[in-house]
Every structure is written in structure tokens, then in C-alpha cells.
Amino acid sequence: MSPIRLAMRLPALATFLVLALNAHAQSITTLGIPADDSAITPEEPDGVISRGLHIKSQGRQTADALLRNARSGGISGAPISTGSSRSNAASTGGNASTGGNASTIQVNDPAPDHTVSFPGITRPFEFSTQSETTIATHGRHIVVGYNTTAFQTIQLFPQGLFYTQRYFTGYSVSHDAGRTWQSSFTPPAPGSNFTFGDPVLAVDRGGHFYFASLGADAAGNTVINVNKSTDNGSTFGTATSVATDNGGDKDWIAVGPDPTNIRRDNVYVTWTSFNDAGTAAALVFARSTDGGATWTSKPIFAPAGDAINSSFVSLSNPVVDRSNGRLYIPFLHFSNIDADNIRVLVSDDGGVTFSFLAFNVPGAPDAFAYPNVTPGELVDCGVNNGGFRLVLHQGADDGGGQFGLARYRYATRLITQPSAAVSAGRLLLAFNNSTSPFFGDPTAGSEITLLYASDGGASWEPPFKVAVSTAADPQHVHPAIALGAGGAKAFIGYYVQQADTKLRTDVATVNIGAQGLQLARTARLSRKAFDLTPSNIPHPIASDPHLTTNYDRSVRACYNIGEYMAIVPGDEGESAFAAWGDNRNPWIGPADSAQPGSHAQADVFATSTGD
């Protein structure tokens, strides 16, 4: 694997600041952001969100005292919070306090977005990013989850600036089919003040909502969390830790009937686990048979790597066929060549044993691999910050990129996650693909491809193009798929980059019948196109010219719309409900911001395809 490919695939190995808060107290290790703003913000393994402060303590009382002092204002040097920096032209959203309607609507409450300043110490913290959406519905109850930077507390201590609370896993809930919304965040694990996003929702037949995400436990270890709601998504209980995994990343959740006890719903969670050395990653599987109260977990695929296939896997997307309880886990197996490989594990005994589905593609590395080139231009998103990423971008190259790569101020990173849906043996996989056979080709477009098997994956129809690259709409990325009408209709939502470089979201409706797949219609989800946010700005203070920063400095460079959107079928199966990261609203950066003045910010919008 080339150095650039390796840098993209490995987790960010965060370098943390270690502070002795009290030399006479029991040992405390604090991980945080230095006040001089020249060090790199520590981040989660996949590098989307900064981890900020963790406290690992053998002296819990001292740690608790530190947090109490911070919250009570007992620490000198308190920040100045200026509240929202949204423009007056910004949408008021669709929260219950502001009203709304069933058309395209903002579901995240804009009020929590805010700026925190430490005059004379560092540039402001502009907490205003919501994206990377997930949906679950039960009747008229809709829960939309997303990454959010709005629910954070940062304090100035004698040792520097530290986060004392970071709730990156947010959600909004509607009890009237999407007309009005209330926003909140999921509680962390007991004793912790930190969740880290990568949100995914599912719901069982009894109407219990399950919310998987990354977080930290009381000792500062990374955990895979699941929060459960028993009141239609109005509130979620304290997080249950599915597993403690300091290399954990990219979780996903699915709920469905146990194949040996069809009356019982099992809850399944999958994630990527990077080893300590960052030289390999395994696909890990967990199961709960008691409604999320207890969990068992195990690795189910850990490739050794060879001349073609790497030792890294990620981006799993489990789904359950509710007709028989069969579990499918598609994921991406990274390669050492241009095309990575989509693979699918399947279990007919509730995850006790697994086998691979065969694609039998001529020229593939093996029968169980479906080769695919991830779209996007390979660019520099900052040394030890965003890394080298495949992105969509706007504007001119700022220059100064490493290895001769471009460095765009307005960029959003891309991945390939095979989005799956299944009903009564009808299995579909949707994914984005480059129009070029070469990885990172700056001249390439991107399309949405659908794979279909009517027999549970025993045989596959030829690939079906849902959206193709054209001069007017060259790029199509990050699809999400849902099945409605008893498996007779598929709804695929995705982002489109237009020739003018603005983004929008579309939805395609595909009919499924005896003759295979047929595109019925394509329509817009977003009512207006939008610009990208300034996510890859040359660092305003850094001595290293290769450092960059997001305007919202609590997320990594080149992070904007997130790495997935969401869509679910409507009640009758003839329509769908979709949510996505949307940048139509303006944000006003303070004068001392890395990007002062008006520019786009990320919010969450949603709509029904039946409107």
C-alpha cells in the first residue's frame, strides 16, 4: 500500500497532552487541547471529531471536584459565550418552539449553536456543525440522529483549555410525522461526560428505539454505546457499553427477529476495531437478545492482507430480513490497488456463524469480492489533522499541499459504505463509484450503483445505475437505501454536486419486479442547492505551513456533510422519509475567526418523498 493510501486508511493516532492537575492529589491523566492553539487537536480513530477532555482517575473525588469547579464557575478565566452567530436570514428550523410543516424542514434546533471566545488567548470556538444523519420511525414517531458540536463546555484552567463536556451524539424527535421537532443529545455512559458521534438508529417491533454511537467510559476508554428509548424517542436512557474498544470506530446497528425464535427481536451492532499499532483492522460483531440490556461480542473478519487485499476493513452496514431473521453484513475491504472490495457476510443463526456471499465478478481478487473505486479527488486536508482524503470541493486550490496534492478550503470527505436493504429475500446494495478506474482521479465523475439479488444473495443481477455522471451533475455520492411496498419499491437518497459545484440531495424511486429493476422517477429532496463550509483553512497561527483547520475547530479538516445520509420507508411503503446534512443556512464568523464573515454552516434537514 502506498504511503498516501496508508495515511487515508489508518485511524488518526492522536497525540494527547498529559497534565498533572494536582501534584499532591492521586493520579489524574487529562487529555485535552493546549491553549496556544498550535498543537493538533486530539481526535477519534477515524478522525471526524476531536475527543477533547477525558479524565482517567484512580482518585475519582479529585476529578469530580475539577468538573464541579468548572461547571460552577469556580475556575478563573471563564470564557465569553456570544450565543448564536447565525445570520438573520438563517432558517428557524422545525422545532416545536418554532413550528414547521411536512415539507423540507430543518430538524435540529438552531438555538444551541454558539461561539465561545477567550480574548487574548486563542481564536474562538464556533460550535455549529450538525451532519451525518440516521433515522428510525415507528408510526408517527420519527427520530433523526446526527453528529453535533453544539452541546459542549470548554473551560480555561491554569494548565490550559479543556473540554469538560462533549456530547457529539445528538438527535431530534417528532411525534406528528415530521411537522414539529424537539432536539436533544444522548446521555453518555455512567460516570462519563463524553460521546463522540457516528450515530445510527434502529427500532424494534415494539416501538423501542436503539441508538448506537461512540463514546467514553468513566475511565476515558473508548466504548461502543447503545442508548434505548421506551417513550417513542422523547428521551434515551443512559448509555449501555456494548464493548470497550480503544480502537473502535464506525459502528452500525440493526434490529430484527431471531431466526430460531421469530417472536423475539435481536439487536445487532457491528464496528471496526483498529489494532494498537494501527497496522490492521477487524470487523467486530455484538448481539443482544434481551433488548439491549446485555451484550456478547466477537471479531468476525480480520484479514491478514496480501498483495492485493489490505489488512483493513470498515464501513459495515448490517440489515435483517424481517421475514426470516437472516442477517446480512456488507462492508468495505480496503485494497492495495485502485479498487477496494465490497464483501457481504451472512448469518442464518442470529450471528452464531457467518459465511460470505459470492459475487463471482470476472477479474476480482476472489469470488466473494465486488471491486469498486471510491470517488473523489485525493487532496491534502492537513498534516495530522485531516490527512489525505478523497473529497468533493469548491473554489480554487489554496496551494501548499503535500506531495503536490491540491488543498481546497471548501471540501467534504468521501467514503464508500455499501448501504443495504432487504425484504423477503430481496437484497439490495447501493454505493457510490468513480467513473474512473484510477483512485483519486481529479477528472472523474461519480455515480450511484445498485446491486440486486432476488434470492438472498445466491445470484446477482447485472449492476443497475441509479444516477449517472453528466455535464450538469458530475458527482453523486453517499447513497442511503430503503425498501417499501413489501419490497416492491426501493428509495435511494444521495448527494449531487452540480456543475456550478453547489450540492443538493436527490431521491430515486426504483420499482422491483419479475423483470428486475426499473427506475420510476428521480426527484429533489433539498429544495435548494448549497455551498460547502470552509473546512480546510490554512491554520492561522501554526508555524507548520501544512497544518489546516475547520472553521468549527472541534471537527477535523474536510469534515462537512458527514459520511452518510439516511432514508426510511413511509407507513404505506409508497413514499419515504429522508434526512441529510445541509449547508443552506449562513453562519457569521467573528472577526478573529479563522474564517471571518458569512459562510455556509451544516444543519440537518428532512422531508417526505410524498410531499
pLDDT for residue 219:
87
pLDDT bucket at 63, cuts 50 / 70 / 90: very low
Positive or negative torsion for Cα 439, 440, 446, 449: positive
Q: What is the pLDDT of residues 344-389, one digit of tens each?
A: 999 999 999 999 999 999 999 999 999 999 999 999 999 867 899 9
Assigned domain for 401 exists: no
pLDDT mean across residues, the chain: 86
Residue 67 has pLDDT above 70, yes or no: no
3-state helix, strand, coil in the chain (%, to 5): 5, 50, 45
Cα separation, 61 vs 135, in Å, equals 39
Please report whether residue 298 resides in a domain. Answer: yes
* pLDDT value of position 384: 67
Q: Are 496 and 505 in contact (CB under 8 A)?
A: yes
pLDDT (0 to 100) of residue 563: 96
For 158-192, write each residue's pLDDT tens digit.
778 888 889 999 999 999 999 999 999 999 999 99
Top-confidence residue, 534 or 219: 534
Whether 370 maps to a domain, the answer reads no
Dihedral angle, C-alpha 65, 67, 71, 73, nearest 10 °: 60
Neighbouring residues of 268: CB distance < 8 A, sequence distance ≥ 6: 253, 254, 255, 256, 285, 286, 287, 288, 318, 320, 327, 351
Per-residue pLDDT tens over the stretch 467-492: 999 999 999 999 999 999 889 999 99
Per-residue confidence (pLDDT) for residue 539, from 0 to 100:
87
Task: Quick: pLDDT tens for 266-303.
Answer: 999 999 999 998 899 999 999 999 999 999 999 999 99
More confident residue, 12 or 456: 456
416, 421, 414, 433: which is closest to 576 by C-alpha?
Answer: 421
Please indicate, yes or no, if residue 531 is contained in any of the structural domains.
no
The answer to the question of residue 67 being in a domain is no
pLDDT for residue 220 = 86
Residue 158 is predicted with a pLDDT of 79
| Confidence band, pLDDT 50/70/90 cuts, at residue 424 | very high
Q: Is residue 17 a contact partner of residue 160, using CB atoms and an 8 Å limit? A: yes
Among 17-26, 104-113, 495-504, the least confident range? 17-26
pLDDT computed for residue 155 by the predictor: 84
Number of structural domains, the chain? 1
Cα distance between residue 562 and residue 472, in whole Å: 24
Q: Do the beta carbons of residue 220 and residue 56 sit within 8 Å? A: yes
Q: Cα–Cα distances in Å, from 289 out to 241, 282, 292, 316, 351?
A: 15, 23, 7, 21, 11
Residue of higher predicted confidence among 52 and 117: 117
For 452-464, the pLDDT digits (tens) are 999 999 999 999 9
**What is the rounded distance in angstroms from the CA atom of residue 384 to the CA atom of residue 278?**
15
Tell me whether residue 513 is in a domain. no
Q: Does residue 287 contact residue 294 with C-beta atoms inside 8 Å? A: no
Confidence of residue 99 (pLDDT cuts 50, 70, 90): very low
Structure confidence at residue 358 (pLDDT): 98
More confident residue, 236 or 161: 236
Cell 424527535 locates to 173
Residue positions counted in the chain: 611
Give yes or no for residue 9 having a pLDDT over 60: no
In the block, residue with C-alpha cell 491478514: 304
Q: With 70 as the cut, is the pLDDT of residue 94 above it?
A: no
Higher-confidence residue of 418 and 157: namely 418
Which residues span the domain enclosing 354?
A: 266-337+339-360
DSSP string over 207-270: S-EEEEEEEE-TTS-EEEEEEEESSTTS--PPPEEEEE-TTEEEEEEEEEEETTEEEEEEEEEE
In a domain, 353, yes or no: yes
Alpha carbon of 549 to those of 38, 237, 386, 388: distances in Å? 11, 35, 8, 14
Q: Is the pLDDT of residue 440 over 80?
A: yes
Nearest Cα to Cα of residue 228 among 246, 257, 258, 253: 253
Quick one: pLDDT band at residue 84, thresholds 50, 70, 90?
low
- Residue-by-residue DSSP string for 76-118: SS--EEEE--B-TTS---SBTTT---SSSEE-S-STT-EEEEE
**Domain assignment present for 286:** yes
* Residue % of the chain over a pLDDT of 90: 74
Residue owning grid cell 461512540: 214
Q: What confidence score (pLDDT) does residue 160 get?
A: 80
Q: Please compute Rg for the chain using Cα positions.
A: 23
The whole-number average pLDDT for the span 34-38 is: 33
**Residue 472 backbone zone (phi > 0: left; psi -120 to 50: alpha; other: beta):** alpha
Which residue matches cell numbers 473551560?
155
What is the rounded distance in angstroms from the CA atom of residue 294 to the CA atom of residue 298? 14
Is the pLDDT reported for residue 562 higher than 90? Answer: yes
